[in-house]
Amino acid sequence: MINLTDLSFSYPGSTSPVLHEVNLHIPPGTLTLVTGASGSGKSTFLRCLNGLVPHFTGGQISGSITVGEVDPITSGPETMATRVGFVFQEPEAQFVFDVVEDEIAFSLENAGLARDEIDSRISSICKFLHLNSIRTKPIHQISGGEKQRVAVASALVNHPQVLVLDEPTSQLDPHSANELLRYVVSLKEKLGLTVLLAEHRLERLLPFTDLMIHLQSDGQCLIGPPEEILQELDLVPPIITVARRLHIKPLPLSIETFPRIVIPETMVPTLEKKDWKPQTSDGGLDVQNFSVTLEKSLVIDHISFKLNPGEIIALLGPNGVGKTTLLRAMMGLIPFEGNLVLKGQPIKENTLSMMIQAVGYLPQNPNDLLFAETVLDELEVTLQNHGLEKSHTELVQFLTHFGLPNHQDDYPRDLSVGERQRTALASITVHDPDFILLDEPTRGLDYENKARLVQLFQKWRDQNKGILVVTHDVEFAALLADRVIILEQGKVRFSGNPQEAFHHFPGYRTQTAQIFPDSPWITPEDLPFR
């Protein structure tokens, strides 16, 4: 179905190839998982399949590609659009229309389908992906996760031969992500669809994967069954880490295939339960009886919580529940009712500057923050806005915490999504804020960079910073959260310790908690055996 022979590609002005003499064959009707470090070329590889590389990007390409009987290099994106459905890493990048159903209909109208057929396909895809409630909404009013589902719907509605998805679940809550993957797998099985997915959260996809491609830093790749490729990788999903420690072979790819493990009772109490206890501190960020109304709809409904210095709170909840809205309201970007108290000082419209000085805020889309010519310039802009100065050496050293020292002179918008995410995070923390609010900070990050981020969060906690992180990545949250808050229907459903949240709430159970349901363990790091 898909064949690459000695494929190499370099971007304009670059002396290092992103892809180097790649050879592979992907049979029809398979699901192929594409992995690799942030910036390793996963998006570049996928865009070769629909002709965006090199027709849109420019650059030097050699070797050959065929998708079916068609060559994307010579045919270009227009011809490939009907054969290869493509969902971009940033869904906002592919939207043309303002309204959800108009966006989904766009490619069908271009193809000249009858109105009845267009309406039928839109109704079918909206029903399955739970888009009916937002079908007539403006796209700018829906959540990041909902935008991702709209992008997937726009690709699937064409009934392509090949479906390519670049991190399709990165902004979806666990339930929505699992539903989407089940639908994609059913399409593969029922229609013989060939599917390629690039993902960093491998734990979601391994049970469905026929073939795994791992792109390496030298532009070459490993290809084979996932059980074989995972043996070659150092940083892997929790289920694989646990299996390795227990010397289980072959490696289980799902909780269902993981052998039942009986742990001696004497081993379980070796981990002290990480109970969170409220701190009595006047130095925190206090949300009191907080409500937000958008388009006459109550999105946040009288919620209250306090973020203490030296505390990390993970804020979880389904897509569209109001997590992003809450952060935006706390930063004064949208109106709210109730009280916001910073270090004992009530925040009003005329005192919002206090929040800006004391709080670093990372929005869901890092592009909202990136305007400078280089990564280093982004840091300097933040420092100038706060009346601060740091030496060039200090800034380069600061970038090492984010894995970015080699990108200091790069144009931020030319970086991968994960690299842009880390650049934005560096820019909002370089002035050393007391509190940090983060909206999906692991988007586009591989296991190595997530591990680096965990270390950074722990360092900030040791420095007595308060961190509120909105995330759908429960494995990441379990590694660092002191407290978990789960929002549902605009209200706090749960607020308490991570063990209870990640063991007892359906949809939020970590892989470790599922393997050891009768223990307090929620991550491989909690296990008493190595």
Residue 319 lies in a domain: yes
Q: What is the CA radius of gyration of the chain?
A: 23
pLDDT at 271: 44
| Stated pTM of the model | 0.86
Query: Does the pLDDT value for residue 252 go beyond 70?
Result: yes
pLDDT for res 275:
52
Tokens (6 digits) for 449: 């960079």
Burial class (CB in 10 A: 0-12, 13-18, 19+), 51: buried
In this prediction, residue 281 has a pLDDT band, given cuts at 50, 70 and 90, of low
Query: Same structural domain for residues 521 and 436?
Result: no
How far, rounded to the nearest angstrom, does the alpha carbon of residue 84 sit from its chain's CA centroid?
A: 23
Whether 280 is covered by a domain: the verdict is no
Residue 274 binned pLDDT confidence (cut-offs 50, 70, 90):
low
pLDDT at 407 over 90: yes
pLDDT attached to residue 455: 93
CA distance 31 to 29: 7
pLDDT given for residue 529 in this prediction? 78
Instruction: Flag whether pLDDT at 340 surpasses 70.
Output: yes
User: Tens digit of pLDDT for each residue in 13-26?
Assistant: 888 899 999 999 99
The pLDDT of residue 498 is 96
Same domain, 221 and 243: no
Residue 250 lies in a domain: yes
Does residue 352 register a pLDDT over 50? yes
Q: For residue 264, is it within any domain?
A: yes
In a domain, 279, yes or no: no
Same domain, yes or no: 388 and 446 = yes
Smallest CA-to-CA distance from 38 within 445, 510, 521, 429 is with 445
Q: Are 473 and 355 members of one domain?
A: yes
Could you list the beta-strand ranges (E) of 169-219.
Answer: 194-198, 211-215
Same domain, 472 and 332: yes
Query: What's residue 268's pLDDT?
Result: 61
Give dist(CA 430, CA 98) in Å, integer. Answer: 36
Q: Is the pLDDT of residue 479 over 80?
A: yes
pLDDT computed for residue 230 by the predictor:
93
Residue 381 confidence (pLDDT)? 96
Residue 508, pLDDT above cutoff 60: yes
In terms of residue numbers, what domain contains 377?
Answer: 285-496
User: Which of 79-113 are b and which e, b meaning 16 or more Cβ less than 10 Å from the residue's Cβ?
Assistant: ebbebbbbbbbbbeebbeeeebbbbbbbbbeeeeb
Q: Is the pLDDT of residue 83 over 70?
A: yes
385 and 241, same structural domain? no
What local confidence, expressed as pLDDT, does residue 264 receive? 67
pLDDT, mean over the chain: 91
Confidence of residue 292 (pLDDT cuts 50, 70, 90): very high
248 inside domain: yes
Residue 119 and residue 79 share a domain: yes
CB-based contact 484:497 (threshold 8 Å): yes
Beta bridge partners of 287: 305, 340
Least confident interval from 73-82, 106-115, 157-166, 257-266:
257-266
139 within 8 A of 97, measured Cβ to Cβ: yes
Q: pLDDT, tens digit, for every residue of 147-205? A: 888 998 999 898 899 999 998 887 788 888 888 888 888 888 887 899 999 988 888 88
The tally of domains found in the chain comes to: 3
Q: How many percent of the chain have pLDDT more than 70?
A: 96
Q: Which of 188, 204, 226 is the last residue of a domain?
A: 226
The answer on 441 and 398 residing in a single domain is yes
147 and 257 inside one domain: no
Same domain, 132 and 198: yes
Q: Would you state the pLDDT for residue 411?
A: 95
Question: Does residue 126 lie in a domain region?
Answer: yes
User: Which of 96, 87, 240, 46 has its CA nearest to residue 170?
Assistant: 87
SS3 sequence of 270-284: HCCCCCCCCCCCCCC
CATH number at residue 327: 3.40.50.300
CB 248 within 8 A of CB 68: no
**Could you tell me which residues come within 8 angstroms of residue 357 by beta carbon, excluding any fewer than 6 positions away?**
386, 433
Residues 99 and 6 both lie in one domain: yes
Q: Same domain for 27 and 115?
A: yes
The one-character DSSP state at 40 is S
* pLDDT at residue 4 is higher than 60: yes
Confidence of residue 295 (pLDDT cuts 50, 70, 90): confident
